[in-house]
């Protein structure tokens, strides 16, 4: 295998410690028998508190995507394609192919979700954790059906990541749509006044502005545009519903 370690390992910070480091090290070790990278989580020690890098975020996403994919007991082609496209956006075609091999090794592992989330919660800033939940729901919706078992796992992850109920329901409403979904996206009630609607829109547009994840790189900012657009779409729908100018 011609796996190019430099791009991935060079972009890692705190994920090389703790349970995520052990998961990643085992995955790489399974592909490269005898490699010292198999002990990555042990050799590098604890590095909590370091700023989240692009590589930290992507690896965290892969580990949690694997849990969501296995929630309903099926691994669908649409879900694998979603992961592949996510990696292509972040690294390009060749690196995506190589990282998909890492991901498939992660899929074969059984690891403690709470411990993984605790590591992420301690080391990843809040806007990045919100974006992570958005990506997990994108995976769940990739086959056209947000499965209840996947929703349960994502809800559990959000709870472990210390994401409050309003923020979680806002992200969920982007994918699990009904008549009141636009209001949940803006975290308001359908009875909200025009002033409350406009105030909520300004608040949410600021919360989900792509600049909030600028430290994760331009590729992740581009991905964050999806939630930002969903906030604007929800606002436009509510304005139409309530004849707000």
- pLDDT band for 155, please (50, 70, 90 cuts): very high
Q: In the chain, pLDDT over 70 holds for what percent of residues? A: 87
Phi-psi region of 49 (alpha: psi -120 to 50; beta: other; left: phi over 0): left
Does 212 map to a domain?
yes
Instruction: Please give the pLDDT value at position 33.
Output: 54
Full domain range(s) for residue 224: 175-245
- pLDDT band for 217, please (50, 70, 90 cuts): confident
pLDDT tens column, 191-212: 999 999 999 999 999 999 989 9
Q: From residue 195, how far is each of 24, 78, 149, 198 by CA, in Å?
A: 49, 41, 38, 5
Number of structural domains (the chain) is 1
Average pLDDT over all residues of the chain: 85
**Of the listed ranges 3-7, 21-25, 69-73, 134-138, the one predicted with least confidence:** 3-7
For residue 39, is pLDDT > 60? Answer: no
Residue 195's domain is classified under what CATH number? 1.10.287.110
Q: How many CA atoms lie within 13 A of 89 on its CB side?
A: 18
Angle 93-107/54-69 helices, nearest 10 degrees?
50
For residue 3, is pLDDT > 50? Answer: no
Does 193 map to a domain?
yes
Does 184 map to a domain?
yes
pTM score of the predicted model: 0.86
Does 39 map to a domain?
no
Does 27 map to a domain?
no
pLDDT tens column, 65-120: 999 999 988 888 999 999 999 999 888 888 888 889 999 999 999 999 999 999 99
Higher pLDDT, 118 or 145: 118
- pLDDT band for 16, please (50, 70, 90 cuts): confident
Q: How many CA atoms lie within 13 A of 6 on its CB side?
A: 2
Using CA atoms, how far apart are residues 63 and 79, in angstroms rounded to an integer?
A: 14
* pLDDT, average across residues 124-152: 91
Q: Are 216 and 57 in contact (CB under 8 A)?
A: yes
Does 228 map to a domain?
yes
Instruction: Please give the pLDDT value at position 196.
Output: 93
Question: What is the SS3 string spanning 131-170?
Answer: HHHHHHHHHHHHHCCCCHHHHHHHHHHHHHCCCCHHHHHH
Helix (H, G, I), strand (E, B) or coil at 75: coil
Using CA atoms, how far apart are residues 159 and 181, in angstroms rounded to an integer?
A: 21
Tokens at 242, concatenated: 């309530």
């Amino acid at each position: 295998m011609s796996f190019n370690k430099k791009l991935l390992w060079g972009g890692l910070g705190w994920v090389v410690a703790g349970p995520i480091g052990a998961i990643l090290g085992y995955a790489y070790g399974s592909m490269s028998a005898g490699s010292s990278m198999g002990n990555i989580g042990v050799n590098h020690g604890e590095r909590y508190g370091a700023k989240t890098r692009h590589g930290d975020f992507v690896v965290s996403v892969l580990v949690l995507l694997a849990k969501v994919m296995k929630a309903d007991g099926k691994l669908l082609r649409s879900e694998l394609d979603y992961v592949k496209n996510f990696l292509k956006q972040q690294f390009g075609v060749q690196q995506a192919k190589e990282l998909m091999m890492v991901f498939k090794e992660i899929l074969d592992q059984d690891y403690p979700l709470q411990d993984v989330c605790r590591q992420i919660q301690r080391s990843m800033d809040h806007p990045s954790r919100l974006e992570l939940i958005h990506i997990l729901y994108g995976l769940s919706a990739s086959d056209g059906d947000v499965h209840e078992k996947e929703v349960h796992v994502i809800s559990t992850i959000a709870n472990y990541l210390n994401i409050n109920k309003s923020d979680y329901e806002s992200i969920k409403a982007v994918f699990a749509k009904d008549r009141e979904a636009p209001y949940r996206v803006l975290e308001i009630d359908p009875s909200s006044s025009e002033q409350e609607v406009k105030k909520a829109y300004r608040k949410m547009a600021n919360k989900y502005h792509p600049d909030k994840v600028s430290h994760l790189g331009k590729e992740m900012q581009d991905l964050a545009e999806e939630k930002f657009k969903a906030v604007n779409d929800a606002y436009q729908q509510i304005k139409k519903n309530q004849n707000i100018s």
